[in-house]
């Protein structure tokens, strides 16, 4: 067997030396023997592009590796693989285009870019005879891209149900475990580095939705835009909702779902009630999990750290090794992703069916429940159970009415299975009841 140490080194550049980029560089420079053994060739970090050359990164690199000039990488014909760790859309798109056109294979973790411009970038890579590896773009250290694209290739995936955002999962876990309000749990997540100073993309469901778009492309061959499917975050949930869900035998998770229903693709990201005994309900803290069902293998579950420096670096470096060994070159052209035409159409939002958790703040007076039940019934919504506690229980919000004689109390209703369209029609009528004070909470209930 040839000695890997005697082979010509592979020259690698990292574009973007943030948290993940630093982790990737650490793996490359601190494990040269492992990299050579797994790759079949020595791996050399040739350039690392940064914005601030003076910033300390806690990692010693050889003189001349750090640069703030991305063109240095693009112009260097000796660089075979570019690790693209630039976030956002611009200039990330332009940089990746330049890297591909300069003849480099690319490894990326940028889910937002692939969600928005994946079809264009994949087409360019194929035209140029290059590859794009993107395991780290979805679920950090969980190898779900390889699982769906390769390991489950004998299957038609029938359903994906996933926790794809560790920040939201950590917040929901802390709220119910520690009896914390949302704001306190978010602040703790920021303190620990799980949430950014501006956590919007994590808590409003965008981050999870972008990852789901990529998984949906890979599993079903359908390109869904973020505007094409329901997307709700956790920012409006209250501790009382998590406690009511618990009383009903469920845990609340920000769930990303993509599944085949009667030949159409149902897709959504939203807070969802998951039964306590379900595997996804046991995923706590900043962990991610993906439940996949294939027509051959049946149900499978994958769980692990979905973000963070070293878990994500693990996925990036694995892609680097696959690119060096030629595995990516074999699999990339055959990925069923960003190709036309799509084999399935998206299920209309109003046709999506589920059981639903509804919480209203209602005036504490007679006949309110009867009025609500009448409206639900006329819209083909059957009530499965009702919870109405005293206003003070669970620290639920309650207020005095204008005359000071009435107050609002929480009313929780669990429905039988119905459609989003029926719920929306009922909500229009419910909005006209003077006995209900907005806002109300609606969450789906997982099967």
Q: Which of 385, 439, 373, 378 is nearest to 416 (CA)?
A: 385
SS3 14: strand
Distances in whole angstroms, Cα of residue 190 to Cα of each of 114, 198, 284: 26, 9, 17
Of the residues 111, 211, 232, 253, which is catalytic? 211
d(Cα 414, Cα 325) in Å, to the nearest integer? Answer: 53
d(Cα 134, Cα 92) in Å, to the nearest integer? Answer: 14
- 55 catalytic? Reply is no
d(Cα 302, Cα 207) in Å, to the nearest integer? Answer: 19
SS3 131: coil
Q: Which of 127, 233, 125, 111 is nearest to 182 (CA)?
A: 233
85 in Cβ contact with 108 (< 8 Å): yes
Radius of gyration, alpha carbons of the chain: 25
d(Cα 157, Cα 258) in Å, to the nearest integer? Answer: 10
For 399, phi then psi, to 5°, come to -140, 160
Cα distance between the two ends of the chain: 53
d(Cα 226, Cα 267) in Å, to the nearest integer? Answer: 10
How many residues are there in the chain?
A: 447
d(Cα 396, Cα 239) in Å, to the nearest integer? Answer: 8
Checking DSSP bridges between strand 264-275 and strand 250-261, what pairing results, if any?
antiparallel
Q: Which of 113, 163, 440, 381 is nearest to 288 (CA)?
A: 163
431 in Cβ contact with 362 (< 8 Å): no
Annotated catalytic residues are 211
């Amino acid at each position: 067997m040839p000695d890997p140490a005697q082979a010509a080194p592979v020259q690698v550049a990292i574009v973007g030396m943030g948290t993940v980029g630093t982790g990737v560089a650490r793996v490359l420079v601190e494990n040269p023997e492992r990299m050579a053994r797994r790759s079949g060739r020595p791996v050399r970090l040739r350039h690392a592009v940064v914005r601030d050359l003076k910033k300390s990164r806690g990692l010693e690199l050889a003189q001349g590796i750090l640069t703030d000039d991305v063109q240095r990488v693009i112009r260097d014909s000796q660089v075979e693989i570019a690790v693209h760790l630039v976030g956002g859309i611009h200039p990330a798109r332009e940089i990746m285009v330049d890297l591909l056109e300069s003849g480099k294979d690319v490894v990326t973790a940028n889910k937002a870019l692939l969600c928005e411009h994946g079809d264009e970038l994949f087409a360019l890579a194929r035209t140029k005879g290059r590859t794009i590896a993107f395991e780290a773009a979805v679920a950090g250290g969980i190898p779900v891209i390889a699982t769906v694209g390769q390991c489950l290739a004998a299957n038609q995936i029938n359903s994906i149900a996933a926790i794809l955002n560790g920040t939201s999962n950590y917040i929901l876990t802390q709220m119910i475990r520690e009896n914390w309000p949302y704001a306190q749990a978010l602040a703790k997540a920021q303190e620990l580095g799980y949430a950014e100073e501006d956590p919007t993309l994590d808590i409003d469901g965008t981050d999870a939705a972008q990852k789901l778009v990529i998984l949906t492309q890979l599993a079903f061959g359908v390109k869904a835009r973020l505007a094409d499917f329901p997307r709700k975050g956790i920012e409006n949930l209250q501790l009382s909702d998590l406690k009511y869900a618990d009383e009903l035998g469920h845990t609340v998770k920000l769930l990303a779902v993509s599944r085949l229903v009667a030949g159409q693709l149902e897709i959504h990201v939203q807070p969802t009630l998951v039964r306590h005994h379900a595997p996804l309900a046991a995923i706590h803290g900043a962990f991610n999990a993906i439940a996949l069902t294939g027509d051959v293998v049946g149900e499978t579950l994958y769980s692990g750290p979905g973000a963070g420096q070293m878990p994500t670096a693990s996925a990036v470096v694995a892609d680097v090794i696959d690119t060096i060994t030629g595995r990516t070159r074999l699999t990339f052209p055959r990925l069923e992703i960003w190709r036309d035409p799509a084999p399935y159409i998206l299920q209309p939002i109003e046709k999506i069916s589920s059981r639903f958790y509804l919480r209203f703040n209602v005036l504490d007076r007679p006949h309110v429940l009867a009025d609500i039940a009448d409206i639900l019934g006329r819209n083909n919504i059957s009530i499965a159970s009702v919870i109405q506690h005293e206003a003070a229980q669970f620290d639920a919000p309650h207020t005095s009415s204008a005359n000071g004689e009435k107050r609002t109390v929480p009313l929780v209703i669990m429905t039988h299975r119905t459609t989003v369209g029926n719920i929306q029609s009922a909500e229009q009528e419910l909005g006209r009841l003077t006995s209900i004070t907005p806002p109300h909470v609606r969450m789906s209930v997982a099967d």
